[in-house]
Structure 1
């Protein structure tokens, strides 16, 4: 710096300022400034005025269109916004989101926002749809797109998300005026460990069967079965032998209707009846630990439930592990009670499998006819009843007016109370004597031709 005193005054000032700028840009001053030319991304934050999206997904009622529960979220986008967000996956506040999505390349995570309104696909891009670990710059996504058929904005990450980490997602929707903020921001946290997704359960020779009982059937009222049934070795209906007719017979004057065949030791023969019973028992044991019942802890990697009661009133905020579940195995060492709504989210994977296991009884609490509250299993984002399994170490009871989805595999009896409906097999007596008890019910094999719409 000594030579500067020999320079002309204007040149000295120019050189001094130039050196000052160069030094500050090269990390001078204790390293507070970045190196000149470095690509430093700002931390992703929610824009001022951004709102949180709803956390209640559309509900598909049996035989009806998708409807949105009559719940007003605490904060909604201004009505002047031409495009609004109706649901997100993961939901806002989710504390147990999987780190990746099945079938996404390189184990990436698929994050979606369901939109309402007329959407210009060009407005959904990496500049408007962003995600980051909380307090960090945005991730570089593998892709950002708009699915016009599903009406969803889709962000796919290039790799799995970090486990046990908080994330912020921001979606800027078009605004008709500069002063109107139409951004939506939500937060979620990934699971501490990747959720283990169980394999499909193979029913083998019993694939076409909706019912199985080792201790017969008892029925009251107009019950309808869509699918085959096997009664073996006890082939009675209301204590009356069914015989070799292929139907339920007289059944003490309360014969269930059936769109299928009733297989017994005398129809078509003992070999066929035992073959079906063995296949159903094998399916039960496929999700049972080697030590046998109770079922809790089988499959390995199951997620212990924090409570023995799951579900919440219709319209409540989704809480992972309480009334919202992604594919996986969930276990209770004792009983499992289901009350209100339980939402099962396949996250766009049609092969997603859900297994709920209880060491003893599974009970769906009774309710009243719609629109009054009653127990419901709600399937969203591609979840199928055929891939849902409820395994009870002892008995299972499906309460009055319940809307039940999934196969019930019980060690002992299964009871469907008044007007409960099920899209899913009912298998009683997996390892002990088990009867089926009906009272004006409909039980359908998922995918059966006579099953209600949406039962698959």
Structure 2
């Protein structure tokens, strides 16, 4: 990896003294991001740990004074990628969006800087400004370091088109993802791979329009007491239900009554449980845990930015790897999974409790989406739910869900990926005007891979 050079030999003690005075000039209180003092000192050296005060706010603000309204990566992001696809030498774009049109001549390496925690400011490949979007872009000359904290700073040298400088310099921090050299391990679904859904406690399909469609085979192997699926089922589309009406099925149903008195359905269920346990730690199911040195998702964290938003928020971007929550996982908007150019890249999300997609608005309104870029495929994304999973209204889900118990799809939710209920215990499946597709199935959308 290319080594970045220092821009100054100034001693940290001098920087700390300067920062103290500059912070006093800008005041404190309010606001989400840190604000630093005046001048261009921070474009030369990264402040030492503790110099940035989270929550500080600028005391000089107004409709004619420009400020930064969004950054990419955003403040607090813990999973930023180390590079941006298509950038020379593996460099990364760091962007800041302004509240007002800016004077492009004032957006340069002196007014926009980036540095690793405790290190010198990086020498960028370029700093540019887009007058149409009011976005400044700093492009690094090489990839950022993995598992490293960075601070971006916009200095007072940045001025509006009318000549008004930013009220106080704006600083934010983010951390790059810890990318293991071998990436996440693959998950072997065995004989369950061709199946769109599996359930061990029956299926209910609400009789609504449009009718639920399943693009793939179905395995129904109810555990003791779940007799509602034990009705005549056949290869031509018969479907045992616990309630509602049959879905449209582009595949066949395998059950204890077809085709071989449960030998096939039982074997598939066995492979499904084996896949579930393969991504569960020795502590035992149904808890999810530290497979392959998982990156923790802190309790209370939700994943995703507002639908269609250009703003990259704290936890809406992931690179290949294993991620775990000791509580639940909830996706609330646009969640981006970046394959980093590897079509075999694997993503594993483990939840000790539930996995879910927040309810949204059908059509163009805000709703939950999982976006796959740079080679990422739904077939290589795995969501392990220690209990149940629920995909909310109009959610666009990508990836395979292995739920210990039930899976529910609310009105209009769709999934490119296998949905397996009852991977560890009794699990029912509930539909309501949904589409479930096995990646690569001939009847699935062409984009479902």
* Residues 1:248 and 2:238 aligned together: yes
Tell me the distance in 1 between the aligned counterparts of 2:379 and 2:93: 25
Q: Do the aligned partners of 1:413 and 1:434 also contact (CA within 8 Å) in 2?
A: yes
Q: Give the drift of 1:111.
A: 3.9
Select 2:255's aligned residue among 256, 264, 267: 264
**What SS is found at the alignment partner of 2:446?**
coil
Task: Report the Cα distance in structure 2 between the residues aligned to 1:281 and 1:137, rounded to whole angstroms.
Answer: 49
Distance in 2 between residues matched to 1:220 and 1:238, nearest whole Å: 19
Partner of 1:229: 218
CA shift for structure 1 position 228 = 0.8
Aligned partner of 1:317 in structure 2 is 311
How much has 1:193 moved relative to structure 2? Answer: 4.8
Alignment: residue pair count: 336
For 2:393 and 2:175, how far apart are their aligned partners in 1? 36
Q: Can you list the C-alpha shifts for 1:109-164, whole angstroms capped at 9, x where unaligned?
A: 564799xxxxxxxxxxxxxxxx9856456489xxxxxxxxxxxxx9884x883652
Q: Is the 8 A contact 1:219 1:238 kept in 2?
A: no
Task: Verify: 1:303 aligned to 2:289, yes or no.
Answer: no
Q: CA deviation at 1:303?
A: 1.4
CA distance in 2, matches of 1:187, 1:254: 53
State the alpha-carbon separation in 2 of the partners of residues 372 and 451 from structure 1.
Answer: 24
Structure-1 separation of matches of 2:79 and 2:354? 28
Aligned alpha-carbon RMSD (Å): 4.2
Between 1:308-317 and 1:269-278, the stretch displaced more is 308-317
In the TM superposition, residue 250 of structure 1 has moved relative to its aligned partner by: 6.6
Give, in whole Å, the separation in 2 of the partners of 1:242 and 1:378: 39
Measure the CA separation in 2 of the matches of 1:364 and 1:255.
Answer: 25
How far apart are residue 255 of structure 1 and its match? 0.8
- Cα distance, 1:156–1:265 mapped onto 2, change above 3 Å: farther
Distance in 2 between residues matched to 1:265 and 1:162, nearest whole Å: 50
Inter-partner Cα distance in structure 1 for 2:74 and 2:448? 29
**2:221 match: secondary structure:** strand
Specify whether residues 254 and 292 from structure 1 end up closer, same or farther in structure 2 by C-alpha distance, changes over 3 A only: same
> Aligned partners of 1:397 and 1:411: how far apart in 2?
13
Judged with a 3 Å threshold, the aligned counterparts in structure 2 of structure 1 residues 433 and 240 are, in CA distance, closer, same or farther, namely closer
**C-alpha distance in 2, partners of 1:98/1:309?**
16
Question: Separation in 2 of the partners of 1:282 and 1:332?
Answer: 21
> For 1:394-430, what per-residue CA distance to the aligned partner results, in whole angstroms no more than 9, with x for missing partners?
1111111111111111000101111111111110001
Give the C-alpha shift of residue 451 in structure 1: 0.7
Structure exhibiting the larger radius of gyration computed from Cα positions: 1
Tell whether the 8 Å contact from 1:235 to 1:242 is kept in structure 2 after alignment: no
* Secondary structure of 1:278 counterpart: helix
| Structure 1, unpaired ranges of 5+ | 1-42, 47-73, 77-87, 103-107, 115-130, 141-153, 170-185
* Residue 253 of structure 1, CA deviation: 6.3
Contact kept? 1:397, 1:415, Cα under 8 Å: yes
Match of 1:411 in 2: 404
Q: 1:365-411: CA deviations, max 9, x gaps?
A: 21221222122112222221111111111111111111111111100
Equivalences for residues 73-92 of structure 1 within 5 A = 91=73
Deviation at 1:166, TM superposition (A): 3.1
* Structure 1 equivalent of residue 393 of structure 2: 400
Q: By how many angstroms is 1:356 displaced?
A: 1.5
Aligned residue number for residue 123 of structure 1:
none
Match of 1:191 in 2: 176
Question: Which secondary structure state, in structure 1, belongs to the residue aligned with residue 218 of structure 2?
Answer: strand
Q: Evaluate the alpha carbon distance shift between residue 240 and residue 329 of structure 1 in structure 2; reply closer, same or farther with a 3 A threshold.
A: closer
SS in 2 for 1:239: helix
1:306-327 CA distance string (max 9 Å, x none) = 2342223220521343x22222
* Separation in 1, partners of 2:175, 2:285: 32
* 2:203/2:429 contact within 8 Å kept: yes
Kindly indicate whether the alpha-carbon contact (under 8 Å) linking 1:109 and 1:161 is maintained by their aligned counterparts in 2.
no
Alignment gaps of 5+ in structure 2: 1-40, 45-66, 96-112, 126-138, 154-170
What is the rounded CA distance, in whole Å, between the counterparts of 2:361 and 2:191 in structure 1? 37
Hey, what does 1:220 align to over in structure 2?
A: 206
Aligned equivalent of 2:150: 166
State the TM-score, normalizing by the size of structure 1: 0.62
Q: Secondary structure at the match of 2:184?
A: coil
Compared CA separation, residues 249 and 229, structure 1 to 2 (3 A): closer
* Residue aligned with 1:443, SS: strand
